[in-house]
Structure formats: C-alpha cells, structure tokens
Amino acid sequence: MSLIEGRTGSWEIVIGLEVHAQVVSEAKLFSGASAAFGAEPNTHVSPVDAAFPGMLPVINRHCVEQAVRTGLGLEAQINMVSVFDRKNYFYADLPAGYQISQFTKPVVGEGKITLDMDDGSTREIGITRLHLEQDAGKSLHDQNPTMTYVDLNRAGVALMEIVSEPDLRTAEEAGAYLRKLRSILRYLGTCDGNMEEGSMRCDCNVSVRRPGDPFGTRCEIKNVNSVRFVMQAIEIEARRQVELIEDGGAVIQQTRLFDPNRGETRPMRSKEQAHDYRYFPDPDLLPLVLDPKMVEDLKRNLPELPDKKKARFIADYKLSPYDAGVLVDERITAEFFETVAKGRDPKIAANWVTGELFGTLNREGLGIEQSPVSAQALGELLDLMGDGTLSGKLAKDVFAAMVKTGKAPAEIVEEQGLRQVTDTGAIESSIDAVMAANADKVAEYRSGKDKLFGFFVGQVMKATQGKANPGVVNDILRKKLAG
C-alpha cells in the first residue's frame, strides 16, 4: 500500500470516482435528434432538446439497452423498475431549467470491477450504481468579445453515470480502475471511451485519513478529462489536504477544479453554496419497467469481456498474465492475436504481436486497426519461420519490409532472395572456407579453447549473409572442428 508520508506520520488516500460515459447511440436519450460529435453548432437540436413548451420526452429504447448491457458487464444488479427524476438548476446551456436524471431508483445497482495490479494480484472495486441522464448543452465563451453563445448539440445526449464505492486507495488504482472501465465499455460498445472528445469524463472524490481511522471529509474534483490528469489531480489534492490538516486546519467539503498547467486544484463551490436540486419524479415519464426477457436476451448475447478473455488466454495459450493482459486490453487486439495464433505456437505469436508489431505501431503512431501488416500476413511470416525458410533474424528483416511495402512475406522472400540456406552442401563449403582462412584459430580451438566456437558461427553467418540455418551450421561446424 502506498501512503503519503506527512510531517506528523502516514496518511492513506480514499478515492471514489464518478464517471460520465456517453452512450453510443445514433439519437439522443429522449429525442430523435442526432447524437453525433463535431457538427456545426445547433444543427442537432429537436424542439424537445431546446425545451419548447409542450414537448414531450420519449425514452430511447436503444440507450436503455446499452445501460443494461453495461450493468451486466459490471456484474451489477439490474433494477427492473427505475424512475427518471428532474434535477432542477438554472444555467444558460440547460433550456428546460432541469436535467432528466435518475436519483433514488437508478436502472443499475451494485456491481464490481476487478483491477489487475502490477504485482499480479487483483483488487475488487465496488460499483455503487449506474444511472441514465441527459447531457447539458455547451456555453461558448470565446466566440464573441462581449457575449456567450450556447450550442445545444449535446443537450439531451444520453450519459451513463457510473459511481464507484470509496474503495480506491492510490492514484495508480484510480488509473487502473478507469482503464479497466474503459476497456469494458469498449468491449461492450456502449461508450467509445474517448476522453479527449469528452465522451468519458471523471469526477474524483478524494479524502485522507490515518490508516484505520474513519473516512475523512472529501473534496470532489470535477470533470477531469484524461487518465493521467485524474492520477495527477488525486496526488495533488491529497497532498493539499495532508498539509492543511497537519497545519492545524480542516478540510471542508467542496467542489474543486484541477488546473494541470499550474499543478493545483482550486475551489469552485463549497457545500453551503451547493445546489439544492429539488429532485422529483418527472411527470412526463412513466417509471421505466424492464422486460425480464429483454434482460435475459441481452445477457445471453454479451461478448466475452476482458477478464474472462484474459483467463482463457492464460489457460489455453499458456501466456503469462502480463502478456495476456496486454493482449486483451482492446477487443480488436485480442482478435488480431487469436488470428495469428490459430494453428501456430501461441507464445511466438504473442511475442511478435506485443514485440515487433506493437513496436512498429507505437513508432508510427498507429492503432492496430490501421496496422500495415494484417494478422493474416503476420501468420504467414511465422509459418515461413516454422518451416525453416526464414531464421528469426531474417524474419525481422522481412517484417520490416512488410511494414514498408505492404507486400506478402513470401513475395518479399522471393524478391530479395532471403530464403534461409538449409542446403548442407552449401553450408559445408562455406564452413570449409572459413576454417581454411582461420587455420590458427582452428588449432587453438582444438587445443581446448572452446570459446572460439561462437567466432566460427559468426564467420559462417557473415559469409552466408545471415541466411544459413543456424541449427545446421552448429551441427556441421561442431563435427568439422572436432577434426
């Protein structure tokens, strides 16, 4: 466990995260307007989103299904009856004067997320709830020197708010939690997890305490938009609280903002200034009653999720937990690997995917879906190694050429004449030549200087431009040197 060492002793950090995840959906939660990102301002707005008088919200079935699927993916309780409430507050980007959300009766109740820690252990983090709610519009302060503009494209877009229990204890755990949650959401296809575009945003609740003491007073850091910033904000906020308490002060419950440029959190509003949202059930919407058969169907058709896939990769392919974890992080990477591994040595397949392929993708700044080498082609390359056509060294050269040209490995082998030499006759004559040119070394070797063996192998490989099969070279060389 990593504690903060203060002036007066150790402190433990307590963290609970509230994640807003935008539901992958064509239309908004209660209107038919498009939910697509990046359109011209105010082009995706229906009279419902603009809160024209007399407009009625109609629930989007697809969004409900996505929330239920997410709940199932988090192994959570699905509430067969849930209620939409009005959360009342005034703001220019909220034309109705209230947000439709769920308060006392959310669609999804308690669940959990399993974290894989660096030391190979796992930690279970409780999910308190998941509820559906609308997003607000956006105020644009930089379009005009004296006025603020409002863009309602986002108003009414469906969000899932996923709330964790205060179970996290370090910034690293919070980072691991967010990455795991994002991975699950992407597998399910219920949220694209894109934090830069704001389709996943995080509020961090942070408090500190002496180990073993009851929870301390927390502060909430609003709308942090990357995993790295979440981790930084938690560290910085926890240190601020420790210093404050050690100086004789007390933490007051507050909403704060993280400023990554200055490396500090700043107060936004305190509990006394907090909104009284006057929640009440939305009279325009009936309680949401789920059909048990629909929930059953969604459950049956859930994809294999990262934890299960990882366990299967370890059991079936005998991969290390680390390799398996890396390969299952994204569904598409796992599929790529399984295509390469099919009918081949899985360990070698894993090494090539996580080594050569990931290295290339990182260097070129590409995602695996843009990989210049397909899973099919990488598999063919491994086959050329398997049947002795290519040595490991030559295979790496061919791989580099595949990345450059997009050609099939067999074609590159033909074109460049890279075929590994397994012909014993050819190898024998080049060994003879090397021995003749190094008669002194041969004598030294024969008088007991075994270490020279590597030198001879190197010379033969050099003479054959790396194409000789190293196994064959070793065998013949050993015999000939023995005299």
**What is the rounded distance in angstroms from the CA atom of residue 208 to the CA atom of residue 15?**
9
Q: What's the min distance (Å) between Cβ of 321 and ligand ADP? A: 28
Q: Is 272 exposed, middle or buried (0-12, 13-18, 19+ CB in 10 A)?
A: exposed
Q: Which of 4, 18, 105, 374 binds ligand ADP (CB under 6 A)?
A: 18
Pairing of strands 219-224, 254-259: parallel
Using alpha carbons only, how large is the chain's radius of gyration in Å?
30
User: CA–CA separation, 417 vs 289, rounded Å?
Assistant: 68
Residue from 28, 180, 182, 218 in contact with ligand ADP (CB under 6 A): 218
Region of 11-19, 224-232, 299-307, 421-429 interacting with ligand ADP (CB under 6 A): 11-19
**Residues in binding contact with ligand ADP, number by CB under 6 A:** 14
16 lines the binding site for ligand ADP (CB under 6 A): yes
Stretch that binds ligand ADP, among 199-207, 341-349, 395-403, 454-462 (CB under 6 A): 199-207
Only segment of 200-208, 300-308, 407-415, 465-473 that touches ligand ADP (CB under 6 A): 200-208
| Contact of 207 with 215, CB cutoff 8 Å | yes
Residue among 104 and 139 whose Cβ is closer to ligand ADP: 104
Residue 303 to residues 40, 75, 151, 274, 331, Cα–Cα distance (Å): 35, 13, 36, 41, 10
Q: Does the protein bind ligand ADP through residue 14 (CB under 6 A)?
A: yes
Give one word for 5, left, alpha or beta, with left for phi > 0 and alpha for psi -120 to 50: beta
Instruction: Give least dist CB 92 to ligand ADP, A.
Output: 24
Tokens of 413: 């082998």
Please report how close the Cβ of residue 126 comes to ligand ADP at its closest, in angstroms: 8
For residue 344, count CB atoms less than 10 angstroms from its CB and return exposed for 0-12, middle for 13-18, buried for 19 or more. middle
How far from 329 is each of 187, 198, 199, 307, CA to CA, in Å? 9, 21, 19, 9
Asked if residue 215 binds ligand ADP (CB under 6 A), the reply is yes
Q: Which CB, 204 or 327, lies closer to ligand ADP? A: 204
Find the binder of ligand ADP among 22, 82, 207, 389 (CB under 6 A): 207
Q: What's the min distance (Å) between Cβ of 73 and ligand ADP?
A: 19
319: CB partners within 8 A, 6+ apart: 313, 327, 346, 347, 350
Nearest residue to ligand ADP by CB is 16
Residue 265 in the binding site for ligand ADP (CB under 6 A)? no
Compute the least distance from the CB of residue 40 to ligand ADP, in Å.
35
Q: How far is the CB of 178 from ligand ADP (least distance, A)?
A: 13
Q: Which stretch binds ligand ADP (CB under 6 A): 84-92, 187-195, 201-209, 413-421?
A: 201-209
**Residues in contact with ligand ADP by the rule CB under 6 A:** 14-18, 163-166, 205-207, 215, 218
